[in-house]
Amino acid sequence: MYIRPVHAEHDLPTLHDFIRSNPLGVLTTAIESSTHHFLQSSHIPWLLDEGGEKGLGVLRGHIARANPQAKAIIEDLTAGASRASAPQLHKDVLVLFTGPAQHYITPKFYTETKPATGKVVPTWDYAAVQAYGRATLFVEPADPRTDAFLARQVADLSRFAEGTLMGYERPWSVDDAPENYVALLKKAIIGIEIEITDIAGRWKMSQELSAGDREGVVKGFEALGTPLACDMAQAVRERDELAQARKKAEA
């Protein structure tokens, strides 16, 4: 992802908050295979834990064993991997998270520059976070480590989604389902744990524009009146306010 300095976000708490608010990330792998595509991607809901060797965090997820990407992953695992540790992929993986507020920006919004020079073109505003890391896999159903990882993963993910995302006072729990049914389903998935080695965000929310054009973007979205447009107007304002606050703090 190309990240211009004006759009870059490197504040770790901000990046972590974004991931937790938008947990459906796209896992991308590049794996040499004679039977599967070299590049594969899957949408996976992730949990983010603090820590990791670099202190950038650890992502936890799971994927269907029948998924072609999972099959390529399993093929890539070191054949002679030590049983003392769970196998890892040879190459880093990428997980991309995007925010729900994204929209086309018409040059008509640039109420300052367009009338003055006409030197304006369309663009697209959005926010995204990319995380690179080394993936550890939990694939062997008979391995106690796989069972422990998947048991924790599905329970934690359900608790997070039911409580944090849905806000239920009496959330659904994995324990509400028959134990043998859950055990059967766990055999159909593999666990993925990614220690983040590099993470960055891009908030492209018109902050590179002049004050007049940026206000034109906000008013343009407000005039559209759709829920998405209103979210975009708010996002542009918030990013501008954050940029101004950071400038004052650095002064």
52: its two tokens: 């990791």
Asked, for residue 128, whether it belongs to a domain, the answer is: yes
Minimum mean pLDDT range among 114-123, 212-221, 237-246: 237-246
Which residue shows structure tokens 């993936």?
A: 135
Asked, for residue 76, whether it belongs to a domain, the answer is: yes
Asked, for residue 247, whether it belongs to a domain, the answer is: no
pLDDT band of residue 129 (cuts 50, 70, 90) is: very high
pLDDT, residue 246, reads 86
Average pLDDT, the chain: 94
Q: How far is CA 47 from CA 60, 65, 178, in A?
A: 5, 19, 24
pLDDT, residue 122, reads 97
Q: Is the pLDDT of residue 78 over 80?
A: no
CATH number at residue 187: 2.30.110.10
Tens-digit pLDDT profile for residues 177-190: 999 999 999 999 99
Name the residue range of residue 203's domain: 5-106+124-207
Tens-digit pLDDT profile for residues 80-110: 454 556 799 989 999 999 999 999 999 999 9
Q: 114 near 179, Cβ under 8 Å?
A: no
Distance CA 240, CA 235 (A): 9
Asked, for residue 116, whether it belongs to a domain, the answer is: no
Asked, for residue 41, whether it belongs to a domain, the answer is: yes
Asked, for residue 9, whether it belongs to a domain, the answer is: yes
Asked, for residue 214, whether it belongs to a domain, the answer is: no
Q: Is the pLDDT of residue 75 over 60?
A: yes
Q: Which residues contact 50 (CB under 8 A, 6 or more apart)?
A: 16, 57, 58
pLDDT, residue 233, reads 98
pLDDT, residue 81, reads 54
pLDDT band of residue 150 (cuts 50, 70, 90) is: very high
pLDDT, residue 247, reads 82
- Per-residue HEC secondary structure of 89-131 comes to CCCCEEEEEECCCCEEECHHHCCCHHHHCCCCCCEEEEEEEEE
pLDDT, residue 250, reads 84
pTM assigned to the model: 0.93
- Looking at the structure of the chain, the number of domains it has is 1
Of 126, 103, 118, the C-alpha closest to 213 is: 118
Asked, for residue 173, whether it belongs to a domain, the answer is: yes
- H-state helical runs in the chain: 12-21, 68-76, 113-116, 144-159, 179-186, 211-224, 227-250
Tens-digit pLDDT profile for residues 155-171: 999 999 999 999 999 99
pLDDT band of residue 226 (cuts 50, 70, 90) is: very high
